[in-house]
Chain A
Amino acid sequence: MLGKAAGWGIMGRSAIWLPRAGTVFLFVFLWSLLVRIGDYPPFILPGPERVAARLWALAAEGALWRHWWATAVEVGLGLGLGVTVGLALAYPLAHWRLFEQMMTPYLVASQAVPIIAVAPLLIIWFGPGLLARVLVSALVAFFPILVSAIAGFRQVPLEWRELFRSLQATRWQTFWKLEWPAALPVIFGGLKISATLSVIGAFVGELISADRGIGFLIKQGQGLYDTPLVFGGILLLASQALLLYGAISALEHRWVRR
């Protein structure tokens, strides 16, 4: 029975990866077909082979990894900061109504401010270094995790809370043994959104001020009318978002669904 289950597991993985690879091939094929049928010049729509060649040239110069890593560091720090602040605020917001009523207008308003307008100010206040770009990424990332964590903490069934109360559990025990595990599935949902948004945040920060990173590459590509480089940059950004999403899904699978 176990052997059969394990066998199905391997088959199941293949069954997932094959269609995924198929959609990638289909996407590249349709993209290539569109370029050929439309006979578009590369500055309007470069074909996949041109984009691949541009990325290859960048890798040969040793620049690809340097820019990819610069953005990855900003995304990692930005997401880490955003998640930390989001979770730290979520618990009191979920439990103390007065605190929630005081803070909610500011939190909602903070999300209505276009990040592209705020980013240059952050650069002036904190200087054109890593810190400003990490803050931009964190600002974008923290709201989804905050909202999802509040929802997660509040969804714990009342009878479970009463059970913990009847067992005279401390606040910490209630949090660690009940609220946190119960909220985790919802928190992971918010974390996935925060992760992809943190990539956008780091990109916006680099677009405003940077001398390296994928945003810098894309800006260079735009400034030099090098559309294959712009497309290459977009693919690099997508690769980071996909990697993060995959890593979080794996963690979710390990911690929540086992």
Chain B
Amino acid sequence: MRHRFLVPSLLLVALTACQALAGLPAPATPTPIRLPMGYIANVQFAPFYVALEKGYFAQEGIELSFDYSFETNGVQLVGAGQLPFALVSGEQVPLARAQGLPVVMIAQWYQRYPIAVFALAEKGIRTPPDLRGRKVGLPGFFGASYVGFKALLYASGLRDEEVEAVDLGGFTQVAAVKEGKVDAAVGYINNEPLVLRRAGFAVNVIDVADHTALVGNGILTNERTIRDDPDLVRRFLRAFLRGLRDTLRDPREAFEISKKYVEGLSGENEAAQWEVLQATLPLWQAEMPGRSDLRAWQEMVNVLVRMGQLKEPGDIGAMFTNAFVEELWPLVEQGR
């Protein structure tokens, strides 16, 4: 019974794939897609703004709108099949799958894990062992910052109890470090340390990605969308990859476009935000942007198990797929 539908289904998928790759006209009625971003409107989402502004999503028959809600909301909505895509950090995938949410990462947009520990230079914290006995502030005991922090400790041979982790109750790390409430804090390497430096402070930064390989932010979908509507995945991903390509090639243009979507990119904040984008670009760059590395997934799952957030590693191969990126990037790179 299942085989009777398998061959026509595969033919249909192949046909739609060929149509899409041939750049045939988009469907007459655009598909509305609300994309949970997991953060506030920010210049770091420039590839999406570029793709939207240049009509890449429209050309794919997608009417994209942004939803700046919490990361976990996006994962749950995608897992429940209410939305097809969301932007999430890599560690959310094994955590969600462990609870039965059938989510899959289809493009690892951030090739380097963007988390870092930063401190005022006067604290003398330059390497992970310098954190021993220190108080380190986190925006919360969850998410990428927490996982990155723990991974850094484990990779450096530090035990949990050797560093005092403090829940700052939100993204207030810069204030906490400036006021000396903590010795160091965990944040995004392309954000908080830059803010401190612009305020005139000498800052030391420990980049988590220099010590361990983890899976950064990427695009999430669910197993049903991959199975039933792979064409939608291709269309969405192609539009995004074209936006990413253009942003990497011409960051200044991407910055100017982002001004339409993000408040505060002009005026007195312009230089600082331009710096943020420049610091973000290296996190995306790779021979094949969007491709995931199995070893990074294994490393991340090991960290989550050691943290006690996962009971067992689970099926790591089911957490991500490179199939779409490997198919689409070479064409996108050639300008198609």
Q: Which residues of A contact B (CB under 8 A)?
A: 41-44, 119-120, 123-124, 127-128, 132, 208-211, 219-220, 222-227
Contacts and interface: CB of A to CB of B under 8 A. Distances in A.
B95 interface: yes
B142 A43 contact: no
Given A43-B96, A127-B181, A208-B169, 13 more contacts: A43-B99, A43-B101, A120-B170, A120-B172, A128-B167, A128-B169, A209-B170, A211-B141, A219-B140, A223-B143, A224-B99, A225-B76, A225-B98
B289 interface: no
B141 A225 contact: no
Contacts of A225: 72, 75-76, 79, 95-96, 98-99, 101
A43 to B, nearest CB: 5
Nearest to B172: A124
B220 to A, nearest CB: 13
11 contacts: A43-B96, A120-B170, A123-B168, A124-B172, A127-B181, A128-B168, A209-B168, A211-B141, A224-B99, A224-B309, A225-B101
Given A224-B99, A224-B309, A225-B95, A43 B170 contact: no
Nearest to A210: B167
B305 interface: no
Contact of B99 (A208, A220, A227): A227
B175 interface: yes
B100 interface: yes
Given A222-B72, A224-B95, A209 B169 contact: yes
Interface in B125-177: 140-143, 166-170, 172, 175-176
Given A128-B167, A225-B76, A219 B142 contact: yes
Interface of B: 72, 75-76, 79-80, 95-96, 98-101, 140-143, 166-170, 172, 175-176, 181, 309
Of listed A124, A222, A226, residue having the most chain B CB within 10 A: A124
B80 A44 contact: yes
A128 B72 CA distance: 23
A223 B95 contact: yes
Contacts of B309: 224
Nearest to A40: B80
Nearest to A211: B167
Contacts of B100: 41-43
Nearest to B304: A224
A44 B82 CA distance: 11
A132 B76 CA distance: 31
Contacts of B169: 119-120, 123-124, 128, 132, 208-209
B115 to A, nearest CB: 16
A120 B140 CA distance: 11
Nearest to B166: A128
B159 to A, nearest CB: 17
A132 B140 CA distance: 16
Contacts of A227: 99
A127 B309 CA distance: 27
A44 B309 CA distance: 20
Nearest to A120: B170
A104 B75 CA distance: 44
Of listed A41, A211, A225, residue having the most chain B CB within 10 A: A225
A43 B95 contact: no
A34 to B, nearest CB: 16
Nearest to B167: A209
A97 B76 CA distance: 53
Contacts of B175: 124
A53 B75 CA distance: 25
B168 A42 contact: no
Contact of A43 (B80, B143, B166, B181): B80
Of listed B76, B100, B101, B167, residue having the most chain A CB within 10 A: B167
B99 A223 contact: no
Contacts of B167: 128, 209-211
Contacts of A209: 140, 167-170
Contact of B176 (A124, A222, A226): A124
B76 A43 contact: yes
A13 B331 CA distance: 77
Contacts of A223: 72, 95, 142-143
Nearest to B309: A224
A46 B176 CA distance: 39
Nearest to B101: A43
Given A42-B100, A223-B143, A123 B76 contact: no
A225 B75 CA distance: 9
A44 B100 CA distance: 10
B149 to A, nearest CB: 14
A225 B102 CA distance: 12
Contacts of B79: 43, 225
Contacts of B76: 43, 225
Nearest to A207: B169
Contacts of A41: 100
Contacts of B140: 209, 219
A227 B181 CA distance: 34
A209 to B, nearest CB: 3
Of listed A123, A132, A209, A210, residue having the most chain B CB within 10 A: A209
